[in-house]
Amino acid sequence: MVTLQMMQFTAVVLMLLLTVKLLLLPGWRTVSREAQQARWLMAGGTALLVLHFALQLTLGLRQLGVTQSVMLNLAMLIPASYFFARAVLLLQRRGRLSLADRWMGPAVWMVTMAMLAVAALTDGQPLLSDTQELRLAEKAGAVLYMLMQGYYTWRQSVSLVAMRHALSNYYDRDTDGMLRWMQYSIIGLMLLALMVPVAIFGSGAWMLIIAFAIYFFLFYLVDSFCFYLTSPAPGRMEAAEQNAAEVEEEEKLENSKNKTLKDTAVLSHEVMSEVEAAVEAWLARGGYRQTGLLQPMAAQEIGISRYRLTAWLHQRGVKYTEWIAQLRVEEAKRVMAEHPEWSNDAVAQHCGFADRTVLQRTFKNVEGITPQKYLENQSK
């Protein structure tokens, strides 16, 4: 039978191993300053949890009473969750945090500790007695904790949308997978804020199940964070965000020129027609069949600015990644019909896909079926 002491000991070992992994992360010196700060914040969060579970285990606070255990939980879990949330936000916003981003967590922790101290000193009972006043202060602290995490979830979600937008308007293939861990982590951190009050106030089998879920999520968060930090993903993300910023500068410049010359929209009907003609000429040359065709390269070959290409695609209701994928899939369908003997590797190379795996994944995303199934349907 799994006991509370066994779970606490497991948590100490797990958090300690995750802390060591973060401290000994290979290649961390090559990442940006913001990524290094995020790494230290993540390590600080896991180290706090090591201390938290070690104190719970050695002092037996659960056995002493609910109040003693809950007060330690709030004192440790609020700053740990803040460190985790701020680490993710630092990666997303590349260090550009608002005052609320920086101080929401510390403010919630200080208010919670102040409420607990006032309740403990004014209830007329011995210190740390399980009184109604302390119970109310603890519940209020749990609510503040959930509100804090709700704020960071909102901030992280908005930043994640901007990151995906930058990627989809820069790369010629779907790169959203490299941010999927971030999406799951944002959801997990919010669920953690909802589950922790149940775990710290509750008891029995449900508490054990929730505790195991929390351990699993924390392992996933830290492990995915380490993998992301040591992969090419941060560099790719930075390139996409830099391109988005430059496109925005091009937009401002073009808008200022047009306002100086005449009071008309930047992408007027005349401009849209010019872009359409340039794009059609580029498509006729098969320019989209180049592998690794970034948006700036495509705009340069078409002969228009990146802003005009982005605005033209926006008017058509598609992003750059989707547009290139549709063009290449249509070319793949044509090639497969004309050359059924070609392998998927040959089709992928001809159409601009990085390899047959990318061809199959992209084809299924666009058409809903694999290339093989498409050929079977055509033969019928």
Instruction: Answer yes or no: do 84 and 227 share one domain.
Output: yes
Instruction: Answer yes or no: do 214 and 274 share one domain.
Output: no
Residue 167 lies in a domain: yes
Residue 161 lies in a domain: yes
Question: CA–CA separation, 10 vs 14, rounded Å?
Answer: 6
Structure confidence at residue 260 (pLDDT): 46
Q: Is 82 left (phi over 0), alpha (psi -120 to 50) or beta?
A: alpha
Domain that holds residue 133: 4-231
Q: Tell which residue, 321, 303, 314, 299, has the closest CA to residue 266.
A: 314
Structure confidence at residue 258 (pLDDT): 66
Instruction: Answer yes or no: do 203 and 63 share one domain.
Output: yes
Question: CA–CA separation, 250 vs 244, rounded Å?
Answer: 10
In the chain, the amino acid numbered 234 is P
Place of tokens 């293939």: 173
Instruction: Answer yes or no: do 31 and 74 share one domain.
Output: yes
Structure confidence at residue 377 (pLDDT): 82
CATH number for the domain spanning 103: value is 1.20.1070
Q: Cα separations (Å) of 232 from 152, 228, 229, 237?
A: 26, 8, 8, 9
Q: Output the tens digit of pLDDT for each of the chain's 380 residues.
A: 667 788 888 889 999 999 999 999 876 665 688 889 999 999 999 999 999 889 888 887 665 555 667 788 889 989 999 999 999 999 999 889 999 999 999 999 999 999 988 888 886 666 566 778 888 888 899 899 999 999 999 999 999 999 999 999 999 998 888 999 999 999 988 888 887 666 666 566 667 777 788 889 999 999 999 999 988 899 999 999 999 999 999 888 887 776 544 444 457 788 888 999 999 999 999 999 999 999 999 999 999 999 999 999 998 899 999 999 999 999 999 999 899 889 989 999 999 999 999 999 999 999 999 888 888 887 77
Q: Give the domain-ending residue among 183, 206, 231.
A: 231
Residue 253 lies in a domain: no
Classify residue 155 as exposed, middle or buried by CB count within 10 Å of its CB (0-12, 13-18, 19+). buried
Place of tokens 């054990």: 208
Residue 180: CB partners within 8 Å, gap ≥ 6? none
Instruction: Answer yes or no: do 190 and 304 share one domain.
Output: no
- The domain tally of the chain equals 2
Residue 68 lies in a domain: yes
CB 302 within 8 A of CB 279: yes
CATH number for the domain spanning 348: value is 1.10.10.60
Instruction: Answer yes or no: do 227 and 273 share one domain.
Output: no
Q: Cα separations (Å) of 301 from 31, 182, 298, 314, 370?
A: 32, 34, 5, 19, 31
For the chain, give the secondary structure using H, E and C. CCCHHHHHHHHHHHHHHHHHHHHCCCCHHHCCHHHHHHHHHHHHHHHHHHHHHHHHHHHCHHHHCHHHHHHHHHHHHHHHHHHHHHHHHHHHHCCCCCHHHHHHHHHHHHHHHHHHHHHHHHCCCCCCCCCHHHHHHHHHHHHHHHHHHHHHHHHHHHHHHHHHHHHHCCCCCCCHHHHHHHHHHHHHHHHHHHHHHHHHHCCCHHHHHHHHHHHHHHHHHHHHHHHHHCCCHHHHHHHHHHHHHHHHHHHHHHHHHHHHHCCCCCCCHHHHHHHHHHHHHHHHCCHHHCCCCCHHHHHHHHCCCHHHHHHHHHHHCCCHHHHHHHHHHHHHHHHHHHCCCCCHHHHHHHHCCCCHHHHHHHHHHHHCCCHHHHHHHHHC
In whole angstroms, what separates CA 329 from the centre of its chain? Answer: 28
Instruction: Answer yes or no: do 183 and 306 share one domain.
Output: no
CB 56 within 8 A of CB 120: no
Residue 152 lies in a domain: yes
Q: Give the domain-ending residue among 231, 252, 277.
A: 231
Instruction: Answer yes or no: do 161 and 207 share one domain.
Output: yes
Residue 369 lies in a domain: yes
Instruction: Answer yes or no: do 142 and 215 share one domain.
Output: yes
Residue 283 lies in a domain: yes
Instruction: Answer yes or no: do 118 and 75 share one domain.
Output: yes
Residue 249 lies in a domain: no
Q: Give the domain-ending residue among 231, 252, 283.
A: 231
Structure confidence at residue 263 (pLDDT): 43
Instruction: Answer yes or no: do 30 and 122 share one domain.
Output: yes
CB 60 within 8 A of CB 165: no
